[in-house]
């Protein structure tokens, strides 16, 4: 038998295992996105059924908290000044940012008219991270592309950024918004802004 073929045989034998492992990793990375998509459809249907904002918020809350690494997203959005924010303000921001993120989704996905999500096959690796892409497809057939940056953490894969139309980073946009609201050692203006946003998004149903 040709010597090159003999040398290649162990690699060929390992190939199915490598493909199986890559497929399993891709499925694991996509699972939180699938859970989020399913929850958003449920929230939209609840909105069309006349359920209150607080009911829809409660429905979506555990899925958002499980799917996202909201703590790291907040810190990246706050930028370098995060480390200078007093501990009590950091703790308040963590609570407010979680509430703000969930309220934003509930407000944006407030009615169902035949929309569906379609997760595109495969994932794209960026270092240790995976990019999971989905299409939000309206009843008309119009597609909005959402790419989720998935990061492997001790508790499993978590969403650490969302790219709208596949390119516009939600975290980068938030960082630009938050940048002018944090002073060295003081985040009171950001705290006030988030409280106001939460109240507006929820129509007053949620308080900051």
Query: Looking at residue 94, what is its pLDDT?
Result: 98
111 domain residue, yes or no:
yes
Which range of residues forms the domain containing residue 132? 20-178+188-201
As a residue count, the chain comes to 208
Alpha-carbon distance of 112 to 24, in angstroms, equals 32
13 domain residue, yes or no:
no
74 domain residue, yes or no:
yes
pLDDT average, residue stretch 106-125 = 93
Count the neighbouring beta carbons within 10 Å of the beta carbon of residue 36: 23
Count the neighbouring beta carbons within 10 Å of the beta carbon of residue 25: 16
58-88 in b/e burial notation, b at 16+ Cβ within 10 A? Answer: ebbbebbeebbbbeebbbbbbeebbeebeee
Write the pLDDT tens digit of every residue in 137-147. Answer: 999 999 999 99
What CATH code is carried by the domain that includes residue 69?
3.10.450.710
206 domain residue, yes or no:
no
Write the pLDDT tens digit of every residue in 18-74. Answer: 445 556 667 899 999 999 999 999 999 999 999 999 999 999 999 999 999 999 999
47 domain residue, yes or no:
yes
15 domain residue, yes or no:
no
1 domain residue, yes or no:
no
Computed over every residue of the chain, the mean pLDDT equals 90
Query: Looking at residue 24, what is its pLDDT?
Result: 66
Decide if pLDDT at 6 tops 80: no
The total domain count for the chain is 1
Nearest to 36 by CA among 144, 114, 148: 148
Alpha-carbon distance of 149 to 133, in angstroms, equals 9
38 domain residue, yes or no:
yes
């Amino acid at each position: 038998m040709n010597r090159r073929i003999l040398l290649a045989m162990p690699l060929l034998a390992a190939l199915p295992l490598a493909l199986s492992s890559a497929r399993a990793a891709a499925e694991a990375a996509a699972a939180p996105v699938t859970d989020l998509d399913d929850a958003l459809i449920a929230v939209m249907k609840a909105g069309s059924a006349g359920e209150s904002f607080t009911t829809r918020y409660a429905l979506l809350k555990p899925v958002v908290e499980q799917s996202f690494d909201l703590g790291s997203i907040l810190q990246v959005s706050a930028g370098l000044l995060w480390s200078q924010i007093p501990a009590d303000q950091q703790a308040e921001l963590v609570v407010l940012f979680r509430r703000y993120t969930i309220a934003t989704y509930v407000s944006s996905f407030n009615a169902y008219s035949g929309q569906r999500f379609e997760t595109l096959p495969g994932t794209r690796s960026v270092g240790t991270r995976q990019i999971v892409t989905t299409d939000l497809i309206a009843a008309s057939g119009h597609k909005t592309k959402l790419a989720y940056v998935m990061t492997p953490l001790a508790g499993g894969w978590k969403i650490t950024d969302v790219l709208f139309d596949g390119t516009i980073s939600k975290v980068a946009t938030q960082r630009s918004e938050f940048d002018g609201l944090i002073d060295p050692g003081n985040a009171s203006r950001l705290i006030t802004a988030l409280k106001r946003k939460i109240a507006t998004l929820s129509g007053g149903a949620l308080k900051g």
